[in-house]
C-alpha cells in the first residue's frame, strides 16, 4: 500500500513537472514569436526610413540643379574644380574607370544623427530624350506651348508626330498650331487639323490637314504627322519652333529628317545619385538614382499673342 502511494505521488509530481515544461515551452514560443515580429517590424521600418532618406537626397540634388541658369548648367556639365559647380556644392572626382565627374551636394545631419546624406549630380546636355534616341519628345497640355530650339539648325526638315495624351483613338480633335520664328521675326504661322470632329468649325487662320503617322511613328503609338521645313530664305535665321496644342493634351515627337547633325541641344539631363553613409566610418549604406530633364527656357503661351500680330509690339 505504501509502495503504491509512493508511486502515485511520483506520478503526480511527474505530471506537474510535465505541465511546467509545457507551459514554459508555450510561453517561450509565444515570446520568441513576438520578438521575431518586433524584429521584423523594426527591420521593415529601418528599411523604409533608409529608402525614403536616400531617395530624398537624390531628389534634393536634382531639384537643386533644376533651378540653375543655362550658363551654370553648361559649366556643371564638364566640371574641373569647385568653381565649375554651383554655390553650396563641391567638385566630385569620380575615380572609377569610365566614371563621370560631377558636383556633390551635402545635406548636413541633425544633432545626434549618425547618417550623412549626399547627392552626386552629373549634368549633360541632350538633343534627344526618346527611347530610340532619335527624337525629342514632350507633352503639351491643352492650350499650352512647348518650344523646340532651332538655333543654328539651318534649313532643316522636322517631322512632327503626335497624338492625344492619353490617346483618344482619334475620335476627337487634336489640332496644333506652330510658329517658326527667328532673328528677323515670325516666318511661318500654321494651324494643323487632326482627329475626328463634328459640327461646324470656324477658322480665322489658315489650317491644313495632318497626315497619318508614318510607320516609324505609328509603331510608337502616334497617329498624326506634319513635316516642317525651317525657313532660311532671304538670310533668315531660325531660333525656335513653338508648338501649341489647341484641343487636348498632346504627346509630341520631333525628329530631324535633314541636317541631322545640326539638330541643336534641347536641354540638360540631370542625373542625381543619393548616397547615405555612416558619419563614423564613412561606409556607404544605401544609394538611389533620380533622372530629370530640364528644357531650355522659353516664353510662356501668353507671348504668342505678340507673335501672332503682324506689326511690331
124 and 268 Cβ atoms separated by less than 8 Å: yes
SS3 of 44, please? helix
Going residue by residue through the chain (313 aa), what tens digit of pLDDT does each one get? 333 344 344 445 555 555 555 555 555 555 555 555 554 444 444 455 778 889 999 999 999 999 999 999 999 999 999 999 999 999 999 988 778 999 999 998 777 777 889 999 999 999 999 999 999 999 999 999 999 999 999 999 999 999 999 998 988 899 999 999 998 888 999 999 998 887 666 666 689 999 999 999 999 999 999 999 999 999 999 999 999 999 899 999 999 999 999 999 999 999 999 999 877 766 667 899 999 999 999 988 888 776 555 455 4
Domains, the chain, ordered by start:
57-127+267-295 (no CATH), 136-261 (2.60.120)
Cell 525657313, residue?
A: 231
Question: Helices in the chain by DSSP H: which ranges?
Answer: 2-66, 70-76, 215-218, 304-308
Sequence-distant (≥ 6) Cβ neighbours of residue 194 within 8 angstroms: 162, 173, 174, 175, 176, 209, 210, 223, 224
Give Cα separations from 228 to 84, 150, 158, 161 (angstroms): 38, 12, 5, 11
- Cβ(127)–Cβ(121) under 8 Å? no
- Strand arrangement, sheet containing 90-92: 90-92, 102-107, 115-126, 267-278, 284-295
- Residues 23/26/31/33 CA torsion (nearest 10 deg): 180
Which residue from 118, 102, 113 is spatially nearest to 57, judged by alpha carbons?
118
Quote the pLDDT of residue 201.
Answer: 65
Give the sheet arrangement for strand 207-209, strand by strand: 145-149, 238-245, 176-182, 185-193, 207-209
CA–centroid distance for 150 within its chain: 23
Closest by CA position to 157, among listed 180, 140, 125: 180
Check residue 305 and give its pLDDT.
Answer: 72
pLDDT attached to residue 4:
36
- Give pTM, 2 decimals: 0.76
Nearest to 207 by CA among 234, 183, 251, 175: 175
- What distance in Å separates the CA atoms of residue 168 and residue 158, rounded to the nearest whole number? 25
| Among 115, 122, 140, 105, residue whose Cα is nearest residue 279 | 115
Amino acid at each position: 500500500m505504501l509502495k503504491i502511494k509512493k508511486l502515485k505521488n511520483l506520478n503526480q509530481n511527474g505530471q506537474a513537472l510535465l505541465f511546467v515544461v509545457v507551459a514554459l515551452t508555450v510561453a517561450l514560443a509565444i515570446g520568441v514569436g513576438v520578438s521575431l515580429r518586433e524584429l521584423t517590424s523594426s527591420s521593415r521600418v529601418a528599411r523604409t526610413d533608409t529608402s525614403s532618406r536616400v531617395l530624398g537626397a537624390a531628389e534634393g540634388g536634382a531639384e537643386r540643379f533644376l533651378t540653375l541658369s543655362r550658363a551654370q548648367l553648361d559649366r556643371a556639365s564638364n566640371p574641373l574644380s569647385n568653381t565649375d559647380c554651383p554655390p553650396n556644392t563641391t567638385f566630385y572626382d569620380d575615380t572609377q574607370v569610365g566614371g563621370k565627374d560631377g558636383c556633390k551636394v551635402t545635406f548636413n545631419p541633425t544633432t545626434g544623427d549618425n547618417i550623412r546624406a549626399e547627392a552626386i549630380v552629373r549634368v549633360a546636355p541632350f538633343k534627344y530624350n526618346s527611347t530610340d534616341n532619335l527624337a525629342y519628345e514632350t507633352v503639351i497640355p491643352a492650350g499650352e506651348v512647348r518650344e523646340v530650339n532651332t538655333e543654328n539648325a539651318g534649313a532643316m526638315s522636322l517631322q512632327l508626330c503626335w497624338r492625344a495624351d492619353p490617346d483618344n483613338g482619334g475620335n476627337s480633335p487634336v489640332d496644333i498650331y506652330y510658329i517658326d520664328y527667328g532673328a528677323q521675326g515670325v516666318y511661318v504661322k500654321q494651324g494643323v487639323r487632326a482627329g475626328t470632329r463634328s459640327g461646324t468649325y470656324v477658322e480665322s487662320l489658315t489650317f491644313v490637314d495632318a497626315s497619318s503617322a508614318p510607320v516609324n511613328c505609328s509603331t510608337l503609338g502616334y497617329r498624326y504627322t506634319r513635316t516642317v521645313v525651317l525657313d532660311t530664305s532671304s538670310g533668315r535665321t531660325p531660333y525656335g519652333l513653338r508648338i501649341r496644342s489647341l484641343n487636348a493634351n498632346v504627346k509630341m515627337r520631333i525628329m530631324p529628317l535633314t541636317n541631322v547633325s545640326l539638330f541643336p541641344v534641347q536641354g540638360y539631363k540631370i542625373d542625381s545619385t543619393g548616397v547615405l553613409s555612416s558619419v563614423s566610418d564613412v561606409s556607404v549604406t544605401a544609394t538611389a538614382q533620380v533622372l530629370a530633364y530640364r528644357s531650355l527656357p522659353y516664353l510662356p503661351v501668353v507671348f504668342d499673342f505678340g507673335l501672332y500680330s503682324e506689326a511690331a509690339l
